[in-house]
Amino acid sequence: MQVERTNVSDLLIDALPDGSRVITDPKSETVFALNATAGAAWDACGVPTNPSQVAREMQRSLTAAVSEEVALDAILQLQEKNLVTITDSPALTTRRQLVASLAAVALPLVVSLTVAEQKAHASTAKSTPKGPTPPKPTPLPIRF
């Protein structure tokens, strides 16, 4: 099995100090949030590679034991979001079986939201941008 990133030139990638990543796809207006474990897998897929090599690179990056199963779970999540492609793929363990066998390291997590979903969430959460609070609008008089 060979794994590599897809459409990297089209993506905006922000590496955060904790090892997590925020990846924005301007074409689909989607933002992907990768925790440190998934971020380490993403980094490991910078060149064509395989799950064993991804696990080794993740171990170096996370300074923790990372099994090939954890690496494969991260790869599968990245593939679900079209951030990596897998070629020459033999029959894969089901995700449920894979997650049941995981231990030691934090599970990889890849989350995505479209810009529209983010705006809707911000609206319902009553998020406001940082800075001075804008003045409240003056109510209009009611005329009958």
Rounded Cα distance between 121 and 115, Å, is: 10
C-alpha distance from residue 63 to each of 56, 66, 104 (Å): 10, 9, 12
Q: State residue 58 phi and psi, 5-degree precision.
A: -65, -40
Q: Please state, as a whole number, how many other Cβ atoms lie within 10 Å of the Cβ of residue 70.
A: 30
10-37 tens-digit pLDDT = 899 999 999 999 999 999 899 999 999 9
* CA nearest to 65, candidates 83, 45, 40: 40
What residue type is 144 in one-letter code? F
pLDDT one-digit tens code per residue, 30-75: 999 999 999 999 999 999 999 999 999 999 999 888 899 999 999 9
Question: For 62, phi and psi rounded to 5 degrees?
Answer: -90, -10
Q: Could you state, in order of their start, the residue ranges of all structural domains in the chain? A: 2-124
